[in-house]
Chains A and B, each alone.
Chain A
């Protein structure tokens, strides 16, 4: 017999828990029972929920930050697109465009008459009348094709032009002079003044025509003469005369070529 068996065999009083003690303890257990929970929420479920919330927050915030950073580029694109859309949309109203063209032509006629009255044009009456007639030709409403050509140029803000045109005076007009190459292209096409692009009909500030630009234009005209395109050269010269009527140009193309393109004249300057 082992020691453990000997201990177990000890004849000790084998008491039982009394009933009143049982009731007391069970009552206490019922009163102080933990609150019943609907289901077990282990630690991993709580941590999963926390991680999910953080993840969703990051997903919501991070793309917004990216969008904010790239906003300027997007905005530029939007502005450019809007500008491109604005010009054709503004020019789509053909009646409005016709009014604008008529107003521009009448302005040119007015300016010519003013110039005649002031005697600033030191040309023969016949030439002045020719220019005036040419300008009056511009007063004719442009054809639908011309309107669509103007409307197809996205860099021309027609709406802005329509707004600013009535306020323009001969002294405040700021339109850039036509580039010599563009003028030559127009002349080589042999088109009349009425079919020229609007820019060639715009009022030009005399002061914007420098002697250098006049010389470049004349060089182009001379090159056209040398190529045998005398008609085109003559038309280009007329346009130059018309647009640069305050430039103190000689009466004829030959004189102008002599004055501006001979080395002697350059050396004198």
Chain B
């Protein structure tokens, strides 16, 4: 990022290829819609480009990148003004893989995606960030809250998922 700050565009390309997929997965799981995920991912990377001159390496670049993505996702959910998606506007159906072992697994994946999408925004973000490999400290930094708060959110999120998945099953 510091190289890009000095005008090296190749450095940005390298940085982008390193983090683009993990970011897109995080955004997609947050909103569960391809088009929205693309929009949020694009906004996130553009914000990185625009803030490149002001960037200071206070924290890991990945933490900073996901902090921007999380804020953009929060803006998206605020715009929707409803954390619970209606049935007709539900998440994209999971793509059926050619070598999918069973139909039950696909159903399970779809139910899990719906269950995550129905979580409160803070709990969902904490859960998805943990799934991306971030530590409690990083999640606290990205979510701009304390570590205990993160732990509490993660506990509530797992409880709700277990409850909904159990009901579904």
Which A residues lie at the B interface, using CB under 8 A?
A: 3-4, 6-8, 10-18, 21-22, 24-26, 28-30, 32-37, 40
B131 partner residues in chain A, CB cutoff 8 A: 7-8, 10, 12
A12 pairs with B109, CB closer than 8 A: yes
Interface centre among B29, B49, B131, B154 (most CB of A within 10 A): B49
- Give the distance to chain B from A15, nearest Cβ to Cβ, in Å: 5
B29 partner residues in chain A, CB cutoff 8 A: 12-13
Nearest CB in chain A to that of B91: its residue: A13
**CB of B145 closer than 8 Å to a CB of A:** no
Picked from B7, B50, B113, B133, the residue with its CB within 8 Å of the CB of A13 is: B113
Which B residues lie at the A interface, using CB under 8 A?
A: 4-9, 12-13, 16, 20-21, 23-25, 28-29, 34, 37-38, 41-42, 45-46, 49-50, 52-53, 94-95, 105, 108-109, 112-113, 116, 127, 130-131, 133, 154, 158
A16 partner residues in chain B, CB cutoff 8 A: 21, 24-25
A15 pairs with B158, CB closer than 8 A: no
- Give the distance to chain B from A24, nearest Cβ to Cβ, in Å: 6
A15 pairs with B37, CB closer than 8 A: yes
When A17-B20, A17-B23 are in contact, do A24 and B112 touch as well, CB less than 8 Å?
A: no
A34 partner residues in chain B, CB cutoff 8 A: 4-7, 52-53
Q: What number of A-B contacts does a CB cutoff of 8 Å give?
A: 92
Picked from A17, A24, A26, the residue with its CB within 8 Å of the CB of B21 is: A17
**A6 vs B127: C-alpha distance when bound (angstroms):** 11
B49 pairs with A11, CB closer than 8 A: no
B130 pairs with A13, CB closer than 8 A: no
Q: Apart from A29-B9, A40-B6, what are 7 other A-B pairs with CB-CB below 8 Å? A: A10-B112, A11-B109, A14-B25, A16-B21, A17-B23, A25-B20, A35-B7
B130 pairs with A7, CB closer than 8 A: yes
B38 pairs with A18, CB closer than 8 A: yes
A30 pairs with B113, CB closer than 8 A: no
Interface centre among B24, B127, B130, B133 (most CB of A within 10 A): B24
A-B pairs, 6 with minimum CB distance: A36-B7, A17-B24, A17-B20, A25-B45, A15-B28, A29-B49
Nearest CB in chain B to that of A11: its residue: B109
**A28 vs B9: C-alpha distance when bound (angstroms):** 11
A30 pairs with B9, CB closer than 8 A: yes
B28 pairs with A13, CB closer than 8 A: yes
- Give the distance to chain A from B67, nearest Cβ to Cβ, in Å: 18
Interface centre among A15, A22, A36 (most CB of B within 10 A): A15
B16 partner residues in chain A, CB cutoff 8 A: 22, 25-26, 29
Picked from A7, A12, A18, A30, the residue with its CB within 8 Å of the CB of B158 is: A7
Nearest CB in chain B to that of A18: its residue: B38
Nearest CB in chain B to that of A30: its residue: B9
A40 partner residues in chain B, CB cutoff 8 A: 6
B25 partner residues in chain A, CB cutoff 8 A: 14-16
